[in-house]
Amino acid sequence: MFMPSHLARPLLFALLCGALLAQAQVQDLPGTADHPLISRLSGSHLIAFDEQEFERYPLMTGLWIPRVNQYTTREVEGRISRRVYIGPENVTLLTAYRNFEQAIRTSNLNVLFSCLSPKCDRYTRTSNGIVTLNPSRLNAHYHNIRNLTEFGYISAEGSWQGRKVWLAVGVGLRKGSSIRYPVNGKMQFGLPADRLVFSIDIIEQEAMATGLVTVDQLTSGIAASGKVVLDGLYFDTNKTELKPESEAALQPISAYLKQNPSLRFYVAGHTDVTGDYAANLKLASGRAQAVVQALVTRHGIPASQLTAVGVGPVAPAASNASESGRALNRRVELVQASVAP
């Protein structure tokens, strides 16, 4: 059958690329490793990783409820890590699912909920498959996991190293070839069809740090360097509204300001380098303004004593190359803006 040249050339290019990618050896994303609580399937490769220091997580505990148009979930909080893997070749979804069931039992975790296709099919009808199943504010390049033809899910809870933990495993069989994965340190496209993809989300319960800033720390910090990081102020990701948990930190800040009524201060919002520069400046400014507003309206601090400033990503406190460094860079500081009379 004759094929027009304008169609033949792209098809030939696609076939050549597919052959080259099939020959390339899939590797783990550099700098990543399994969580010690539970390991991957033998022969799998870790292709995406992300973590959040403290966040809410909607743990699935039941099937879709048609009358309320939502999943059955339990909201848990803690440090969240997500790992996404390409599974080994020639392994069925059922085999992978049973392996994870056994691994969870070996880890002394209690299963809260589990399901397999077709009962899980409601989850796979979304545009993002595994990602939409657990929208945990993480972003690890797993948004291309789509077109799942079969799906399995397990949630569990228990204790690990003296703390409460929750686990969510999603196993999917997908078709298509759009997923990104690392080869020789570079991200590539072209996951073969009928290849397993699975995610392991682990939530570790940690007490949120509140009231970390004291009047003495503010006094000594301002005297030594003219600025202090205001620990204990919390915002949702990419939001400027100050969360209620921040109240414990606002109290000593307002006490310090009232003890120093003749001094003026900048409240400076900082971000990491993730995202657009202009958006980061706007976010930093909005967060600084939210802190100033809370101190003025709820704690009686004169508006003339404080000036909100959005610094954005231009004055990092640590390297942005790691999540721990980026977490340090997302901060609000109190900066002395005048000298004592």
User: What is the rounded average pLDDT of the residues 274-284?
Assistant: 92
70 and 49 part of one domain: yes
Q: How many domains does the chain have?
A: 2
199 and 226 housed in the same domain: no
For residues 235 and 110, state if they share a domain: no
Among 204, 236, 267, the domain boundary falls at 204
pLDDT digits (tens, 9 = 90+) for 236-270: 888 899 988 888 889 999 999 999 999 999 999 99
Q: Which of 135, 170, 204 is the last residue of a domain?
A: 204
Q: What is the mean pLDDT of residues 182-193?
A: 53
Q: How far is CA 125 from CA 48, 59, 62, 148, 170, in A?
A: 22, 19, 17, 8, 14
Domain hosting 233: range is 215-336
Q: Which amino acid is at 152?
A: G
In this predicted model, what pLDDT tens digit does every residue of 65-123 receive, in sequence order? 777 666 677 888 888 888 888 888 888 889 999 999 988 988 888 999 988 877 765 54
Q: Under a CB-based contact definition with an 8 Å cutoff, are residues 166 and 155 in contact?
A: yes
Confidence grade of residue 162 (pLDDT, cut at 50, 70, 90): low
Q: Are residues 191 and 229 in the same domain?
A: no
pLDDT score for 336: 94
pLDDT at 313: 94
Inter-residue contact 110 to 158 (CB < 8 Å): yes
Per-range mean pLDDT, top range of 163-167, 192-196, 283-287, 322-326:
283-287
Length of the chain, please? Answer: 341
Do 59 and 192 sit in the same domain of this protein? yes
pTM (2 decimals)? Answer: 0.52
How does pLDDT run across 2-28, given as a tens digit for each residue?
323 332 333 333 323 333 334 346 678
**Residue 248 maps to which CATH number?**
3.30.1330.60
Q: Do 162 and 136 fall within a single domain?
A: yes
| Last-in-domain residue among 141, 169, 204 | 204
Q: Does 168 lie in the same domain as 86? A: yes
Q: What percent of the chain has pLDDT over 90?
A: 26
The pLDDT, as a whole number, for residue 122 is: 53
Examine the pLDDT at 306 and tell me if it is beyond 90. yes
If you write DSSP's letter for every residue of 71-99 in order, what string do you get?
EEEEEEEEEEEEEEEEPPTT--HHHHHHH
